[in-house]
């Protein structure tokens, strides 16, 4: 069942399902579906029932400094955090949707505890034998999903900063692999590198 409701408190879904008897609710989200380079990264986060004492936000709506601060708080206070990473080679082999779903499954499987419910940002369910609820724009409606979006975003951004050191000509530190004008010009000028998704428009033309 897909939920798409008017704005609710960020703990609305968690409270609803705790009241139904669920004990370990994991929020799941991903980042990196759209870039021309780099991996897709998913995270799964199980928060304490009473939260972590700070307000959480969709990672896209806050500054990088705020994300880093929240990242540390989530890691220190969450009951469990799992991350799944699917690289550009596998994205090219599978397609981005299937790679994203695989990253989400891996994130849940990498949790240190087994959730009895997963709340998923988006429309897709996962191939896991766990109760689950996809929620449209879930990163704006659920604390658990918002926490997952922050973990996934910071993890991927840090990876792209490391790749920047190897390939500074593309300036991955700035655009994180997304198809900005600067990035597209760099591909046109320098060609593609191992990090580029070779089946994506904007890359495959330069192979």
pLDDT tens column, 139-197? 999 999 999 999 999 999 999 999 999 999 999 999 999 999 999 999 999 999 999 99
The pLDDT assigned to 2 comes to: 53
DSSP 118: E
For 79, counting Cβ atoms within 10 Å of its Cβ (0-12 exposed, 13-18 middle, 19+ buried), the class is middle
Kindly write down the DSSP assignment for every residue of 26-55, as one continuous string: EEEEEE-SS-SBS-EEEEEEE--TT--SS-
pLDDT at 56: 85
CATH match of 12-157 with 1.10.8.80: no
Residue-range domain boundaries for the chain: 12-157
Give the whole-number percent of the chain exceeding pLDDT 70: 96
pTM: 0.94
Nearest partner of 199 among 72, 36, 45, 82, judged by Cα: 36
pLDDT confidence of residue 174: 97
DSSP letter string over 60-111? GGS-HHHHHHHHHHHHHH-SEEEEEEE-HHHHHHH-HHHHHHHHHHHHHHTS
Query: Is the per-residue pLDDT at 8 higher than 80?
Result: no
pLDDT of residue 94: 97
**CA distance to 48, 102, 146, 175, 197, per residue, from 41 (Å):** 23, 10, 14, 16, 14
What pLDDT, on a 0 to 100 scale, did the predictor assign at position 134?
97
């Amino acid at each position: 069942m897909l939920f798409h409701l008017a704005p609710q408190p960020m703990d609305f879904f968690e409270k609803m399902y705790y009241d139904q008897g669920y004990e370990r609710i994991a929020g799941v989200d991903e980042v990196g579906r759209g870039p021309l380079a780099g991996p897709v990264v998913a995270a799964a986060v199980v928060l304490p029932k009473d939260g972590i004492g700070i307000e959480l936000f969709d990672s896209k709506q806050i500054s990088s400094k705020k994300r880093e601060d929240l990242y540390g708080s989530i890691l220190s206070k969450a009951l469990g955090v799992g991350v799944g990473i699917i690289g550009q080679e596998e994205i090219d082999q599978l397609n981005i949707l299937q790679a994203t779903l695989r990253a989400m499954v891996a994130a849940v499987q990498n949790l240190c505890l087994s959730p009895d419910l997963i709340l998923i940002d988006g429309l897709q369910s996962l191939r896991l034998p766990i109760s689950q609820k996809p929620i449209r724009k879930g990163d704006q409606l659920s604390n658990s999903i918002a926490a997952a979006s922050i973990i996934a975003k910071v993890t991927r951004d840090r990876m792209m900063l490391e790749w920047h050191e190897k390939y500074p000509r593309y300036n991955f530190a700035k655009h994180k692999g997304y198809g900005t004008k600067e990035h597209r010009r760099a591909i046109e000028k320098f060609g593609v590198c191992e990090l580029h998704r070779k089946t994506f428009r904007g890359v495959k033309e330069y192979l």
